[in-house]
Structure 1
Amino acid sequence: MDLKDIQNLIKFVAKSGTSEVKLEMEDIKITIKTGSGKTETTIVQQAPVGLPQMPVAAQAPAAIQPVTEGGDQKDEASKYIEITSPIIGTFYRKPSPDKDVFVEIGDNVNEDTVVCMVEAMKLFNEIEAEVSGKIVKVLVEDGTPVEFGQPLFLVDPS
């Protein structure tokens, strides 16, 4: 069962009016509880023997949002803007393996500057900055999966 199937199941359960659904298959257990305007989903997936188990986490949807981190860095980090992934897929910093990265730390970008690509279902989608400023941090490793709304870059708009 892939992520899209799980998302469709959650939508179906939310629309059906059912208060709780449990689904158990050979390698995955899913519990979806609804009620009082919120939906809670628990996914437990069995990892093959010898491999560490990775938690499944949901990301808040957003295109660009100010960074709000806790602790001493809150004032410093709040001046940065996040460029987030508009889709689920695989993050790539280069247009192809033999080319240079789209942007480096310290590069200035504007609203229509392509900063990366996200591959989803064999389609490569160019992701534009949608904000002007200087790239201060790359938050995702090249070739790793990203979620919808996951922060990819930090931009200093000043």
Structure 2
Amino acid sequence: METKEIAELIELMAKGNLSEIEVEREGFRLRLRKEPPPAAAHPHMVYASPTSIVAPEKLKELAGPSAESSREIRSPMVGVFYRSPSPDSAPYVEVGQEVNENTVVCIIEAMKVMNEIKAEARGIITEVLAENGKAVDFDRPLFRIRPLP
């Protein structure tokens, strides 16, 4: 089984919200299992320092009325997280920026393919949770946004 086929299986797991998949072919057996994300066990755990620094007063203002009203943009795949399209370009989004469902917020490089990740919701970016140029796991929180009506 080639790595491309394995990547397709991982993508199938993500899109189908599957927690486990097993494939057997010509004496080769592959079993993929997704463990629950650590965020489920520790909802207040911080995974990485934010890449943008914001004054505490401004963060409270951006965060809105309560943490329960915030939402996370999560990684749909395993790969390397990039905030901008190239090293010398500005980031796709910054803390405090309004986004909509089609706004590209970052790129995740997986198997030398650059995958644009969209916000998929309307809101204000309140926190960047992943570090630029670092590997991210499937379902890892990348950004926190405050939804807008």
Higher strand content, 1 or 2: 1
Matched, 1:118 2:108: yes
Match of 2:55 in 1: none
- Which letter maps to 2:70? Y
Q: Residue by residue, what CA displacement relative to the aligned partner does 1:80-110 show, whole Å, maximum 9, x if unpaired?
A: 0000011110000010001000000000000
Assess, with a 3 A threshold, how the Cα gap between structure 1 residues 140 and 12 changes in structure 2: closer, same or farther.
Answer: same
Q: Residue by residue, what CA displacement relative to the aligned partner does 1:10-32 show, whole Å, maximum 9, x if unpaired?
A: 8549x8xxxxxxxxxxxxxxxx9
Match of 1:148 among 138, 143, 148: 138
Higher helix content, 1 or 2: 2
Instruction: Work out which of the two has the higher radius of gyration on C-alpha atoms and give 1 or 2.
Output: 1
TM-score relative to the length of structure 2: 0.59
Please give the alpha-carbon distance, in whole angstroms, between the structure 2 residues aligned to 1:69 and 1:86: 21
Tell me the matched-pair count: 103
CA contact (8 A) 1:134 1:156 kept: yes
Match of 2:90 among 100, 108, 121: 100
Structure 1 residue 143: Cα displacement: 0.6
Higher relative contact order (CA 8 A, sep 6+): 2
Please give the alpha-carbon distance, in whole angstroms, between the structure 2 residues aligned to 1:149 and 1:140: 12
Please give the alpha-carbon distance, in whole angstroms, between the structure 2 residues aligned to 1:121 and 1:156: 32
TM-score relative to the length of structure 1: 0.56
User: How do residues 11-22 of structure 1 correspond to structure 2 at under 5 angstroms?
Assistant: 11-12=21-22
What is the CA RMSD across the aligned residues, in angstroms? 3.0
SS in 2 for 1:126: strand
In structure 2, runs of 5+ residues without a counterpart are 11-19, 25-30, 38-42, 46-64
Assess, with a 3 A threshold, how the Cα gap between structure 1 residues 93 and 12 changes in structure 2: closer, same or farther.
Answer: same
Q: Which 4+ runs in 1 deviate beyond 2 A? A: 10-13, 57-60
Please give the alpha-carbon distance, in whole angstroms, between the structure 2 residues aligned to 1:69 and 1:78: 11
Identity of aligned residues (%): 44
